[in-house]
């Protein structure tokens, strides 16, 4: 039996669903998902996705009313959960799982986290819809600019507090640079430390980025460029001279986006995510070449990944992250995202990957060694047994065939057949070594 259709659904998707037939032509199925525009999810109960101004309005109302007391709901937390649960529900339901994987990959590359406080949690939904989703199959430089200019990123990495020391605002207030965003763009988003940039490069880049901030208390809500806070004069970043001003920032970001070190760094991360924890140099070299030759065309990369022989053999070699594991479990059982979105949100937290709440700006890890361990495995088994208890009306062998098809070994099939109850059988499927992987 040809296993490539189900491999495509597992390796490049979010796991099969019983109501979504496997593709007859896996490559054509994946290609279809990276064509055309994306449709942002609308959270349940709303008629339109919340905008930046909506999040800031909730923040202003909370400030006016005072912080909620013990036992009272925090409206910002409620807004955050509505957005996060809607995003998880979309992952469970979607018929375009490869596109969702790309969204998740780039959102993790450009991490913003609820741990950044209200500047992030008020606008993280718009960040996903406006900065990430429209660009995951566009050019990397456009994605980088959209992310940099979004108030979620400006707030998360403290750019609003960075003032040019010699700017009018700096001379008046005595305030200075905050290098967080400049440093993370170099280290995590573009060239990486392998480019051997220096502290002088970080400082010069931070000076170049001064002036970029966001307005949350009055119109126009969102990103602004404050000339009065911008450090005057030219700056040298990695051997390139940039003049002062708003346009120079964009010029520098495009320079970094198309740097050879950036292509090499992105190629390694993409290969590690979609192919192997330690991807062959031949694979990273091919992706790097595509980025270089196409000017950072992410659609070209997304189309090339499934066409690499290394992406198919061996199957089930990558460990699913907790978010992907929870998503795949509910998909295999044919659950509705609206019905189990909140359960998925709690499940991600219980498995140590709370949604949109990465611990550090470098996002969640992407190798098995970072998720494996006695305690995380016990937590997965506990979660699998609990989840199985909610879906015991389903026939276990049907779930097994949906989830793994011909990739399920005889030992797992025999164990499921011999299980003492439907709940035990379903828990065995979700806890099996094969289902843990993609």
Residue 1 falls inside a structural domain: no
**Which of 236, 258, 280 finishes a domain?**
258
pLDDT above 80 (res 213): yes
pLDDT above 80 (res 392): no
Q: How many CB atoms lie within 10 A of CB 154?
A: 26
Q: pLDDT at position 41, please?
A: 72
As given in the structure block, the two tokens for residue 32 are 């279809």
Q: How far is the C-alpha of 28 from the C-alpha of 347, rounded, in Å?
A: 33
Q: What is the pLDDT of residues 173-194, one digit of tens each?
A: 999 999 999 999 999 999 999 9
- 163 and 244 in a single domain? The answer is yes
- 336 and 420 in a single domain? The answer is yes
As given in the structure block, the two tokens for residue 182 are 């400049």
The stretches of 185-230 forming alpha helices (DSSP H) are 199-209
Q: How far is the C-alpha of 100 from the C-alpha of 90, rounded, in Å?
A: 9
SS3 355: coil
Assess contact for 296 and 254: CB atoms under 8 A.
no
Residue 246 falls inside a structural domain: yes
Q: How far is the C-alpha of 61 from the C-alpha of 64, rounded, in Å?
A: 5
Q: pLDDT at position 122, please?
A: 98
Q: What is the pLDDT of residues 129-150, one digit of tens each?
A: 999 999 999 999 999 999 999 9
The stretches of 8-74 forming alpha helices (DSSP H) are 26-33, 52-65
pLDDT above 90 (res 393): no
Q: How many CB atoms lie within 10 A of CB 265?
A: 24
* Cα 189 to chain centroid, rounded: 13
- 330 and 413 in a single domain? The answer is yes
pLDDT above 80 (res 40): no
Q: What is the pLDDT of residues 245-278, one digit of tens each?
A: 999 999 999 999 999 999 999 999 999 999 999 9
- 252 and 163 in a single domain? The answer is yes
Q: How far is the C-alpha of 126 from the C-alpha of 131, rounded, in Å?
A: 8
Task: Summarize the confidence of residues 66-71 as an average pLDDT.
Answer: 87
Q: Dihedral angle at the C-alpha atoms of 107, 331, 437, 84, nearest 10 degrees?
A: 30
Residues 6 or more apart whose CB falls under 8 angstroms from that of 328 comprise 10, 14, 15, 320, 403, 435, 438
Q: pLDDT at position 71, please?
A: 86
Q: Which domain holds residue 418?
A: 322-431
Mean pLDDT value across the chain: 96
Residue 3 falls inside a structural domain: no
Residue 309 falls inside a structural domain: no
Q: pLDDT at position 408, please?
A: 96
Angle between helices 97-109 and 260-274 (to 10 degrees): 130
Assess contact for 252 and 205: CB atoms under 8 A.
yes
Comparing CA positions, the residue from 305, 286, 155, 176 lying closest to residue 222 is 155
DSSP letter, residue 23: P
pLDDT above 90 (res 21): yes
Q: Number of structural domains, the chain?
A: 2
| pLDDT above 70: percentage of residues in the chain | 100
Residue 129 falls inside a structural domain: no
Q: How many CB atoms lie within 10 A of CB 138?
A: 14
pLDDT above 90 (res 154): yes
**Which of 238, 258, 278 finishes a domain?**
258
Q: pLDDT at position 252, please?
A: 98
**Which of 228, 258, 288 finishes a domain?**
258
Comparing CA positions, the residue from 235, 233, 435 lying closest to residue 326 is 435
Comparing CA positions, the residue from 15, 2, 118, 14 lying closest to residue 404 is 15
Q: How far is the C-alpha of 337 from the C-alpha of 89, rounded, in Å?
A: 4
Backbone angles phi, psi at 49, to 5 degrees: -65, 140
Q: How far is the C-alpha of 241 from the C-alpha of 211, rounded, in Å?
A: 18
Comparing CA positions, the residue from 37, 138, 97, 109 lying closest to residue 270 is 109
């Amino acid at each position: 039996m040809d296993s490539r259709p189900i491999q495509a659904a597992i390796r490049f998707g979010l796991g099969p669903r019983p109501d979504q037939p496997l593709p007859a032509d896996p490559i054509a199925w994946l290609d279809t998902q990276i064509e055309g525009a994306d449709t942002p999810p609308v959270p349940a109960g709303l008629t339109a996705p919340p905008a930046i101004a909506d999040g800031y309005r909730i923040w202003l109302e909370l400030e006016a009313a005072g912080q909620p007391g013990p036992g009272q709901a925090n409206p910002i937390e409620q807004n955050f959960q509505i957005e996060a649960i809607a995003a998880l529900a979309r992952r469970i339901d979607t018929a375009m799982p490869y596109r969702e994987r790309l969204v998740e990959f780039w959102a993790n590359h450009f991490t913003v986290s609820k741990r950044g406080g209200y500047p992030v949690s008020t606008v993280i939904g718009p960040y996903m819809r406006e900065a990430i989703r429209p660009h995951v199959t566009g050019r990397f430089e456009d994605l980088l600019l959209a992310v940099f200019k979004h108030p979620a990123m400006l707030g998360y990495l403290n750019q609003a507090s960075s003032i040019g020391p010699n700017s009018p605002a700096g001379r008046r207030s005595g305030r200075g640079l905050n290098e967080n965003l400049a440093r993370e763009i170099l280290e995590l988003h573009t060239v990486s430390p392998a480019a051997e940039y220096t502290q002088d490069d970080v400082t010069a880049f931070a000076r170049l980025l001064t002036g970029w901030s966001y307005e949350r208390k009055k119109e126009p809500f969102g990103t602004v460029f404050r000339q009065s806070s911008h450090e005057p004069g030219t700056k040298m970043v990695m051997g390139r001279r940039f003049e002062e001003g708003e346009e120079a920032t964009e010029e520098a970001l495009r320079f970094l986006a198309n740097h050879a070190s950036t292509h090499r760094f992105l190629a390694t991360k993409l290969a590690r995510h979609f192919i192997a924890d330690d991807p062959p140099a031949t694979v990273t070299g091919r992706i790097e070449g595509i980025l270089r030759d196409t000017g950072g065309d992410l659609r070209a990369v997304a189309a090339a990944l499934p066409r690499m022989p290394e992406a198919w053999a061996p199957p089930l070699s990558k460990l699913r992250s907790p978010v992907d594991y929870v998503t795949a479990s509910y998909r295999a059982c044919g659950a509705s995202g609206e019905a189990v979105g909140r359960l998925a949100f709690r499940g991600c937290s219980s498995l140590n990957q709370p949604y949109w709440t990465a611990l550090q700006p470098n996002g969640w890890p992407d190798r098995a060694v970072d998720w494996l361990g006695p305690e995380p495995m016990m937590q997965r088994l506990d979660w699998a047994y609990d989840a199985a208890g909610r879906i015991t009306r389903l026939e276990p062998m049907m779930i097994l065939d949906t989830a793994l098809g011909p990739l399920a070994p005889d030992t797992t099939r025999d164990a499921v057949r011999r299980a003492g109850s439907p709940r035990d059988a379903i828990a065995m499927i979700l806890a099996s070594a094969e289902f843990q992987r993609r």
